[in-house]
């Protein structure tokens, strides 16, 4: 793998981890179920410095489910958080109006254009660390 490619992969991985931490913080402070990264209410929006830069769809799931998926669409204006941009404020919040009826509806109608990115987060939510 080329150095630039490895660096890009590392930056994307670290940024996704940072975004996940933001989501956990939002979940903790938003009275969202403590067992879920994002509650399956349908839609969330990602904002950076108050500007909408992405959307998240979380399909319905049974209570207590430990494995689930989240679908993230990052607009071309989304900036991966980094220590070099301390002024960048990334926020995830429940969409003002959830306009998607299903996962299929989300994929059919979510904005997606040049420079946009799709992130599928396969989540395992358990109360112990692997190997312990």
**Per-residue DSSP letter, 101:** -
Residues 87-119: tens digit of each pLDDT: 999 999 998 876 788 999 999 999 999 999 999
CB 44 within 8 A of CB 92: yes
With a CB cutoff of 8 Å and minimum separation 6, the contacts of 130 are none
How sure is the predictor about 72, in pLDDT bands with cuts at 50, 70 and 90? very high
Question: What was the pLDDT predicted at 24?
Answer: 44
């Amino acid at each position: 793998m080329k150095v630039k490619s490895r660096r890009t992969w590392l930056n994307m991985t670290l940024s996704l981890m940072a975004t996940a931490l933001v989501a956990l913080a939002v979940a903790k402070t938003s009275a969202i179920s403590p067992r879920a990264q994002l509650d399956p209410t349908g839609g969330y929006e990602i904002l950076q410095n108050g500007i909408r830069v992405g959307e998240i769809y979380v399909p319905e799931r049974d209570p207590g489910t430990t494995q689930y998926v989240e679908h993230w669409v990052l607009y071309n204006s989304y900036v991966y958080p980094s220590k070099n941009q301390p002024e960048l404020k990334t926020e995830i919040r429940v969409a003002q109006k959830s306009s998607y009826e299903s996962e299929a509806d989300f994929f059919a109608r979510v904005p997606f254009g040049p420079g946009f990115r799709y992130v599928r987060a396969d989540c395992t939510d358990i109360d112990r660390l692997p190997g312990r």
